[in-house]
């Protein structure tokens, strides 16, 4: 166990709070794998898809065109339309060489 002076010195040097963790429960690795289940939320999966569209546009050198199409589509957008839908339409417009704009 460290003395109180050691905690204070480390706290001043690093500019952060220093504390001690206490163990609540010990589990084996097999129990931990069973306890953890992956959770995917709908909103975060939409954000991941939007980020993938942006990444594709940057990789293909079409980011500027994507932003132009997004601006045009957002001006005409329905209030209940999701961002993912707008991004997909803008990306489809770019892939089709801008033949259609909704």
Q: Residues 56-79: pLDDT tens digits?
A: 999 988 999 999 999 999 998 888
Q: Is residue 84 part of a domain?
A: yes
pLDDT at 5: 79
What is the tally of structural domains in the chain?
Answer: 2
Q: Do 47 and 82 belong together in one domain?
A: yes
What is the length of the chain?
102
pLDDT at 98: 52
> For the chain, how many helices (H) and strands (E)?
5, 0
Q: Do 46 and 11 belong together in one domain?
A: no
Cβ neighbours of 64 (radius 10 Å): 9
Q: Do 52 and 27 belong together in one domain?
A: no
Structure confidence by residue, pLDDT tens digits, 27-65: 777 776 676 666 666 667 788 899 999 999 999 889 999
Which domain covers residue 24, as residue numbers? Answer: 4-35
Q: Do 25 and 54 belong together in one domain?
A: no
Q: Do 54 and 76 belong together in one domain?
A: yes
What CA–CA distance (Å, rounded) separates 42 from 47? 9
Q: Is residue 86 part of a domain?
A: yes
Asked if 3 and 10 touch (Cβ cutoff 8 Å), the reply is no
């Amino acid at each position: 166990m460290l003395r109180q002076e050691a905690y204070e010195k480390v706290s001043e040097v690093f500019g952060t709070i220093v504390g001690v963790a206490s163990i609540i429960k010990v589990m084996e690795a097999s129990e931990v794998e069973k306890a953890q289940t992956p959770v995917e939320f709908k909103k975060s999966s939409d954000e991941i898809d939007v980020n993938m569209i942006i990444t594709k546009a940057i990789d293909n050198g079409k980011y500027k065109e994507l932003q132009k199409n997004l601006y045009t589509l957002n001006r005409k957008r329905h209030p209940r339309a999701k961002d993912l839908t707008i991004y997909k339409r803008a990306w489809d417009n770019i892939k089709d060489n801008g033949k259609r704009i909704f």
